[in-house]
Amino acid sequence: MGAMKRTWDFSLDDIIEVEVECDRELRILDNEIKALDAECGGPLPGLGPSIVVGVDSEWRPDPKDATRNVVLSVQFYLIGECGEASRVVYPTGEKRSQRPGLVDELTLLIGDAIKSKVVLEWPREVVLCGYFTRADLTSFGDIDEFKRKFDGVGGSVATTGRNADFEVAMEAGVAHYKSSVSAVTGMENELSRLLSIRLVDLARHTAPGTSLAQVGEWLQLPKLKIPEGFSIERMHELRDRDPGAFEAYGLRDAEIAAKYYLGLKPTAELLTKRSEVPATVSALAVATLKSALHDAGFDFQELWGLGVAKRAYWDDRKGKVRTQRVALPRQELRYAENLIVDAYHGGRNESFCFGPTPVREWFDYDLRGAYTTALLDLSPIDYARVRRTTDPSDFVGRIMGFAWVTFAFPPGTRFPCLPIRTERGLVFTLVGETACSAPEIALALSMGCEVKVRDGVIFPWIADDDRRFFEPFVSRIARLRRAEVKGSLREAYFKLVGNSLYGKTAQGLREKRAFNTRRMGSDAVPRSAVTHAAFAAHATGFVRAVMGELLAGLGPDRQAISVTTDGFITDAPIEALDTSGAATSRFRELSERVAPGLPMLERKHGARQIISMKTRGQATSIPLEGHPIVLAMTSVSPPVPKPERNDYMVDLFLGRTPDSLTQQSSFASLRDQWVHDFDLVRRTLQVRLNLEYDMKRRPLSPGVQAVRGVEHLAFDTGPWGTREEMEQARAQFDGWRRERCLKTLDDYAHWSGVLQFRRVASRHRRSGSTSINLTREGAVGVARRTFLRLYAQKQVDPERAMPYSAVAAWLTAAGYPTTLVELKNASRASIVEHSAPNTADVHRFLQVVSAQFPDFDVRRIVVDG
């Protein structure tokens, strides 16, 4: 009998796969031994690969409790080492205590994943991902057990400090896993594990206003549509009638969250050479900067002017004194910081006109990458040569300096450029004092402004070192964006990282408090790792100088509607803009370094007629073909779909009255959720509508303009002389607008009279004399009552005297209602001459008086001059 030949039915790849599996099993056992060695009587730490879990919840408002939602379900989507798993959990009732527990459900989810071989061993960390996480965390019944273990971040919740750790029991849901441990230990009961959770809010990794649906589209994983006949407000009906569709809808949201996080890991690695995704995109921007600086050979400590010191502190956990190395700013920075922080202002935000504009072409321009580009103006600083100065010429050129100045612009200046901080934001007056940056001082001098430096500091660049140390960061972002499809997920994310860095240089410069979820109280927002007062103040000042220079360069035949930080609306076509100024030329050169071949200014929107309301308040009444409309809704929350919001704002403005209300909608604050146990509920309030001009500039040249079939008041503006003038006018206007709106020329005349009367009254007070009180009649009422006193006390042409009743009838018929009682009281009141401002309506009243009493000197009624 011949020898039997045997054949094998597996390949070399099969052998390799078996070896890999064996190696993995050995690593699992090795990890178990290490965990037991480290256990020391506590829960066994996980040493397996991290897993990602997306979380989402569905709820509806509780009709019986405005602070509560009725939770419909919670969804988890797990991505592990060997696959994916999901879980949908329903509350057992509508009470908070009947909601699912986060820790219990995660434990069961991991146990099921281990049982199904999606996860091979207990993970060292669970990365829990949600979109606006404070919305979902309050859907869990055990929130009191974990809410102090996460951190408040930008109005939401994430992990910025240590992970949230929990001891969880190994019960029936993880029986498979227990048996693997017992193979090492022989123990079958009373095992516990360490569940370590790192929370990531993906809303902090998208641009403001980005929806989860947009993220899903970017991932080619679109949100599922709610079946016809249902809506987001009626999800409880969908749950009851079509539970399969209900669960699929919620699970898709959790899946998008998990997969978006995983998509960020290679993106983070491209930026920082580390795949770790921090809590916020701004934190990733800081890590990217440090990585780019290191690769380019820069020393971060030297650039930021930091020295190293040792700090001793008591460590409660170790029970002993420990020392820590801390970075402290150099003395040259510390001694000048108060001045620099005073010179750190936000963007320039002003409205230059009010009401409907003339019908012509209007364009909305933006500076390309304004603050990112401005940071490129910075070179390494020679901190040893920082010096004080009071010479204005020291601030001209490419200088980084800051000063406290007094100033006076020439009369007739349309757009002064030196900012004064007030409770109502920045104002730009003709005369005043302020702290500001070198680019702004240089621009003011070029505009003929008289500038006196009371105190100033110059931070000189290191000689012969013209490297721009923010350029490696900017170039890295630009290179990565160019490699992606414009508008794609990664391209948009790289852009977001680039735009997020500037804010970190300014973090903590001025006291701002935020709710601390671990301490359940408010803390001052700390400085970031890259906060630098001079860098932040120079960048903002440089951008304001560029915007100021572009505005100052508008010809007298051109009009500007508004300016908002890095953009402005004007009727000047782009070729008519003067970009030859020193600040603008410098910005253009820097922009060319960032985006070669692209224009410094981008045209974003356009219109043929715009309604200008106030700062950050504009709407389009006549669109410009081929251009997106201009729409800025100030503080209004229109209760209509997005495509209808512009028309809503136009109608709201034209139909407003002093008693008009508007709807403002906002979510409960993080403090209310954590301290007062609110769910994420939306509060809708009816508040008094305010679409009137904000009086940050002086109204001028009133007229009327047709808009959508009606006529409405429109006026231009000019700068106030001083800050005090602006504040007095705004305070007076806050009272006036409670009873009237600026809609007609009569409204404007009434307001103008009120404003001028206040100046007259102030003059009387300064001279020690009395004045007549202002009433709802306005300035003309002051003139009428002054005349009545003069008449009743026989100082008005006695030869043409009439009975009181006839005088009252005559004035009433002329349009100035007067009673007999008023004339009787006027005979006993003090005469106050020159009490009324010489406004148009007062002038008309005086003409009526002169026609009846031609020999009476009506100049006794109005103010001199």
pLDDT, tens digit (0-9, with 9 covering 90-100), for 363-409:
999 999 999 999 999 999 999 999 999 999 999 999 999 999 999 99
Does residue 504 sit in helix, strand or coil? helix
Q: Using 50, 70 and 90 to split pLDDT, how confident is the model at 812?
A: very high
What DSSP assignment string belongs to 780-817?
Answer: HHHHHHHHHHHHHTT-S-GGG---HHHHHHHHHHTT--
Q: Is the pLDDT of residue 38 over 70?
A: no
Q: Tokens for 280?
A: 């916020």
Segment 515-521 shows an average pLDDT of 93
3-state helix, strand, coil in the chain (%, to 5): 40, 25, 35
Contacts of 258 (CB under 8 A, 6+ apart): 52, 53, 54, 77, 78, 79, 129
Q: Is the pLDDT of residue 175 over 90?
A: no
Which class would CATH give 24-279? alpha beta
| Higher pLDDT among residues 493 and 170, named by residue | 493
Segment 823-847 shows an average pLDDT of 87
Q: For residue 69, give the H/E element and its range.
A: strand 69-80
The pLDDT of residue 588: 96
Residue 108 near residue 173 (C-beta atoms within 8 A): yes
Q: Is the pLDDT of residue 810 over 80?
A: yes
> Within 10 A of 454 (CB to CB), how many other CB atoms are there?
11
Q: Using 50, 70 and 90 to split pLDDT, how confident is the model at 4?
A: very low
48-60 burial code (b ≥16 CB/10 A, e <16): beebbbbbbbbbb
All structural domains of the chain with their residue ranges: 24-279, 744-860
Q: Which residue has the tokens 């981008």?
A: 602
User: HSE of 301 in the Cβ direction (CA atoms, 13 Å)?
Assistant: 7
* Sign, Cα dihedral of 531, 533, 535, 538: positive
Q: Tokens for 721?
A: 């002389």
Residue 250 near residue 75 (C-beta atoms within 8 A): yes
The pLDDT of residue 502: 94
Phi-psi region of 168 (alpha: psi -120 to 50; beta: other; left: phi over 0): beta
Q: Is the pLDDT of residue 16 over 80?
A: no
Strand runs labelled E in 333-449? 349-351, 353-356, 362-367, 387-389, 401-408, 420-422, 425-427, 431-437
Nearest-CA neighbor of 244 among 228, 227, 257? 227
The pLDDT of residue 7: 42
Q: How far apart are alpha carbons 312 and 490 in whole angstroms? A: 44
The pLDDT of residue 145: 94
Residue 621 near residue 708 (C-beta atoms within 8 A): yes
Strand runs labelled E in 599-675? 601-614, 617-623, 632-633, 661-667
The pLDDT of residue 189: 43
Question: What is the DSSP pairing of strand 349-351 with strand 353-356?
Answer: unpaired
| Higher pLDDT among residues 507 and 313, named by residue | 507
Looking at 189-193, 226-230, 578-582, which range is the least confident one? Answer: 189-193
Nearest-CA neighbor of 361 among 65, 623, 3, 677? 623
Segment 851-864 shows an average pLDDT of 88
Beta bridge partners of 522: 515
Contacts of 519 (CB under 8 A, 6+ apart): none
Q: Using 50, 70 and 90 to split pLDDT, how confident is the model at 3?
A: very low
Q: Tokens for 44?
A: 């066994």
Segment 193-221 shows an average pLDDT of 91
Q: How far apart are alpha carbons 384 and 362 in whole angstroms? A: 50
The pLDDT of residue 53: 98
The pLDDT of residue 183: 40
Radius of gyration in angstroms for the set of CA atoms belonging to the chain, rounded to a whole number? 35
Q: Is the pLDDT of residue 518 over 90?
A: yes
- What tens digit of pLDDT does each residue of 721-740 get? 999 999 999 999 999 999 99
Please give the mean pLDDT across all residues of the chain: 89
Angle, helix 243-272 to helix 471-482, in steps of 10 degrees: 130
The pLDDT of residue 778: 84
For 165, which DSSP code? Answer: E
What sections of 186-303 are H helices per DSSP? Answer: 212-218, 235-241, 243-272, 281-295, 300-303
The pLDDT of residue 769: 61
Q: Is the pLDDT of residue 438 over 70?
A: yes
Terminal Cα distance for the chain, rounded: 136
Q: Is the pLDDT of residue 182 over 60?
A: no
Q: If 0-12 CB within 10 Å is exposed, 13-18 middle and 19+ buried, where does residue 510 land? A: exposed
What DSSP assignment string belongs to 29-68?
Answer: HHHHHHHHHHHTTSPBPP-BPPEEEEEEEEEEE-TT-TT-
| Higher pLDDT among residues 763 and 78, named by residue | 78
Q: How far apart are alpha carbons 53 and 138 in whole angstroms? A: 17
